[in-house]
Amino acid sequence: MARVAVVTGGTRGIGAAIAKALKAAGYKVAANYAGNHEAAQKFKAETGISIFKWDVSSFEACAEGLKKVEAELGPIEVLVNNAGITRDTTLHRMKPDQWNAVINTNLNSLFNMCRHVIEGMRERKFGRIVNIASINGQKGQIGQTNYSAAKAGEIGFTKALAQENAKLNVTVNAIAPGYINTEMVQAVPKDVLEKNILPQIPIGRLGEPEEIARCVVFLASDDAGLITGSTMTVNGGQYFA
């Protein structure tokens, strides 16, 4: 029977690529989204992947949303925590709502999602959790104290949860992408991209969402059973952690 995989932020960008790759690999996929209903409906029409709307920053909304997924598709065996936002500004200009929004969506969501699936994974003695962190959680980035803190927190969360569940065949890993060719990066002015960003990447190009997706498919597979608590750096050689 096909395993059930949930991808948060799964209808756009890296999340959409992950959801499509998991479906192609034979999983029953549920793609979560928060706000862009039009994009989500288009994604569903194009892929046939089930979509579910809820706010991952809410513990209660995650509980309700995951119950709907399990009722429709079955027990969740793979969870990809991909949902994330940015509210970039330097700390001396940052407002509390800019800090809280990023921490709640990017970091607190890991607790909100994992808490509701971890017991079932432990009982079934199988689970795969993959957290999408960031190069900026490893090295930091100007204007992103909130984002960098959240993504660094994801890596620490990953290591701790991996240790708690290793004996029960539940693996927990992180992927730290570098600059990926998504809407977020495409919004960067071309001159900034060419002069400031690409020269920092030894392979000389942006990554593609599908390249991150292939990493997720591997970590979700039985073949990756020995790998847990790891952070896979996928950044074209820009930073080595």
Q: What are phi and psi of 171, to 5 degrees?
A: -100, 150
What are the residues facing 172 on neighbouring strands?
129
How far is the C-alpha of 163 from the C-alpha of 15, rounded, in Å? Answer: 26
Catalytic residue chosen out of the listed positions 33, 147, 179, 239: 147
What is the layout of strands, in order, in the sheet containing 76-81? 50-53, 28-33, 4-7, 76-81, 127-132, 170-177, 231-234
Asked whether 155 and 174 are in contact (CB, 8 A), the reply is yes
What are the residues facing 131 on neighbouring strands?
81, 174
CA dihedral 38, 41, 46, 52 (to 10 degrees): 130
Asked whether 52 and 31 are in contact (CB, 8 A), the reply is yes
Residue 67 neighbours by CB under 8 Å, 6+ apart: none
Q: What are phi and psi of 30, to 5 degrees?
A: -115, 120
Task: Name which of 195, 208, 196, 217 is nearest 235 in CA terms.
Answer: 208
Tell me how far apart the 2 most distant CA atoms of the chain are, in Å. 53
Take residue 91 and report the two structure tokens written for it.
């700390």
- Our answer to whether residue 179 is catalytic in this structure is no
- List active site positions: 147
